[in-house]
Structure 1
């Protein structure tokens, strides 16, 4: 049996700002942009990885959530500490320089972590934490 990650979901609070971040700052391609009843779900992913995607969905939606629960969830998203994703690159310093030049909201500059990973972090417009890790070199 072989299982792979096809798509992950991150909440968005402003579809246009999220679209601009993932497309123009991270350089992802837009795969789907679906509207329904005034809401938008935007699927993005790395150009060279057609089978891996992130679905940016409206924050605060979910089956069986009350209005109060939805508001609480949206508030947690807005604080920027609830959702996130880890990405990887073969050149963290160059990637970070590009993100910084493109106006990314910098949370952490590249650093060697005590647990053995070199990474940096930015936030998307909804506050989701995007950690970018240096891929290990072969050899």
Structure 2
């Protein structure tokens, strides 16, 4: 009857909601991996920047004493430090963007979870209504047979 059709339609909605939730979870996992990669990249850039800065600091006094060769090296290191800082900034921005994406995916999966719960509640109600209708029909048959 109509209760059965309704229950089937709700089951389809439920299946769709579960599929959407699955897809969102996969997207979320991919974003978390991306986030982790960005963090590693940023840490590597920070370490390289620190190492270059140390080398630059050590090269400083030598450059004053040792003339043009050291000075050229110092300038080269300065250039590398500047480049690393630029890369570091870009990595930080990408990590921030990935974090926002991951948060959005989590929020979307929470919405999907809520939709799924509503669909489950509707399905349970439809099943209850169907069972109630069957019960009423059986009672009517019994009463008819008794009469």
TM-score by length of 1: 0.21
Larger radius of gyration: 2
Give the structure with the higher percent strand: 1
